[in-house]
């Protein structure tokens, strides 16, 4: 696949332009409702699919299918980010109107780190093809662990990154609008919003370790790997605000994501020395796994409505209302007896 340098510059220019439009549209802090999130989700998906159609038209069906396979993998694995973000925002009790700014900077940094990881991965594979065996084994192991620990949830209190941040960075107890740093009595202090951003960045880097090898299993083209990642990540913010209050319904999605990782791991192993699974078949298998897992999840949880995104089903607040949550201190302010606070609030 021969991609001219100007095509790379054009893609980067489009990404920067899209980010600028998004930042301008959300320059004022406000609560993003489902309707607005659905509109922006449609915009980002349209860009991602449109770019794939352009690749298909210019470079042919094989490369077009490779892009769509990579895009689908990255988009589906990104749903795990939505789960994690909901837990982090709940833990810090981040007001909903401030969440977009954090996610915008988080996605911006994620694009930079993904670009670095993709470049490093391409260089390593080109110089030592045996690394593909390690990637494949890692994907199989990750898929197995996701199934085995499918009910485990992130506990921010146990995060080493958060503990290190608390120990090294002086921080205020309260939010100060959308500011990440404030100066108080001549001392520069971090707000809890900066801690949230750091934790989101760390978790995204961890997720990238899974997703980058997965997409290399369906395409060797660095241009397709990067663009599929970029267009999938750009829509993450809108996806969060659209799905955050429905995550309790995707009960089988994690199993589906694990099976996708196992499938692409097998595909990578076979591709090295034995047999190349055609891209259309691989794309069909990935789409089927995800479609079935989502369909079964929604069917099993039919009748369950939306819940406030700051109180997902696995939240320590349970099914507390937004009004009840607003009366509680954020969990990160230790020491704190959450059960006691919740019961006293209901009384």
Which portions of the chain are predicted below pLDDT 50? 309-329, 331-332, 334-347
Residue 1, token pair as written in the block: 């696949």
Sequence-separated (6 or more) residues with CB below 8 Å from residue 267: 217, 218, 277, 282
Q: How far apart are CA 75 and CA 212, in angstroms?
A: 12
Is 60 in a helix, a strand, or coil?
coil
Q: In this predicted structure, what is the pLDDT of residue 82?
A: 78
Domain extents in the chain: 5-346
Contact predicate 279/62, CB 8 Å? yes
Query: What residue has token string 């949550």?
Result: 325
Contact predicate 18/47, CB 8 Å? yes
* Residue 34 CB neighbours (<10 A): 15
DSSP one-letter code for 317: T
Q: How far apart are CA 238 and CA 280, in angstroms?
A: 29
Q: In this predicted structure, what is the pLDDT of residue 49?
A: 92
| Exposure letters 162-181 (e unless 16+ CB within 10 A, then b) | beebeeeeeebeebeebebe
Tell me the pLDDT tens digit for each residue of 273-322: 777 778 888 888 888 988 898 889 888 887 766 665 444 333 333 333 33
Contact predicate 70/216, CB 8 Å? no
Q: In this predicted structure, what is the pLDDT of residue 68?
A: 92
DSSP one-letter code for 190: E
Q: How far apart are CA 263 and CA 307, in angstroms?
A: 33
Sequence-separated (6 or more) residues with CB below 8 Å from residue 189: 170, 171, 172, 181, 182, 183
DSSP secondary structure letters along 321-337: -HHHHHTSPPTTSSS--
Q: In this predicted structure, what is the pLDDT of residue 154?
A: 65
Contact predicate 124/138, CB 8 Å? no
């Amino acid at each position: 696949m021969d991609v001219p340098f100007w095509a790379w510059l054009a893609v980067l220019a489009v990404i920067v332009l899209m980010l600028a439009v998004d930042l301008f549209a959300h320059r004022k802090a406000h609560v993003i409702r489902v309707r607005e999130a659905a509109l922006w989700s449609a915009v980002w998906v349209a860009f991602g699919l449109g770019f794939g159609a352009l690749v298909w038209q210019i470079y042919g069906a094989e490369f077009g299918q490779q892009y769509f396979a990579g895009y689908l993998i990255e988009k589906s694995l990104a749903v795990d980010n939505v789960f994690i973000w909901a837990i982090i925002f709940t833990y810090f009790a981040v007001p909903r109107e401030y969440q977009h700014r954090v996610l915008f900077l988080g996605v911006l940094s994620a694009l930079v780190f993904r670009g670095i990881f993709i470049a490093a991965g391409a260089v390593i594979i080109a110089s030592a093809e045996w690394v593909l065996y390690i990637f494949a084994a890692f994907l199989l192991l990750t898929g197995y662990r996701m199934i085995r620990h499918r009910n485990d949830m992130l506990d921010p209190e146990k995060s080493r990154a958060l503990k290190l941040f608390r120990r090294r960075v002086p921080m205020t107890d309260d939010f100060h609008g959308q500011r990440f740093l404030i100066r108080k009595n001549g001392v520069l202090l971090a707000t809890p919003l900066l801690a949230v951003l750091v934790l989101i960045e760390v978790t995204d880097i961890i997720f990238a370790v899974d997703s980058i090898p997965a997409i290399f299993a369906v395409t060797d083209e660095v241009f397709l790997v990067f663009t599929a990642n970029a267009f999938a990540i750009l829509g993450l913010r809108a996806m969060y605000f659209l799905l955050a209050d429905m995550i309790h319904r995707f009960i089988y999605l994690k199993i589906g994501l694990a099976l996708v990782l196992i499938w692409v791991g097998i595909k990578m192993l076979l591709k090295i020395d034995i047999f190349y699974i055609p891209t259309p078949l691989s794309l069909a298998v990935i789409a089927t796994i995800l479609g079935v897992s989502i369909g079964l999840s929604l069917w099993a949880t039919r009748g369950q409505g939306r819940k406030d995104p700051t109180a997902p089903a696995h939240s320590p607040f349970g099914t507390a209302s937004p009004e009840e949550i607003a009366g509680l201190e954020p969990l990160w302010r230790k020491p704190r007896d959450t059960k006691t606070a919740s019961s006293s609030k209901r009384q």
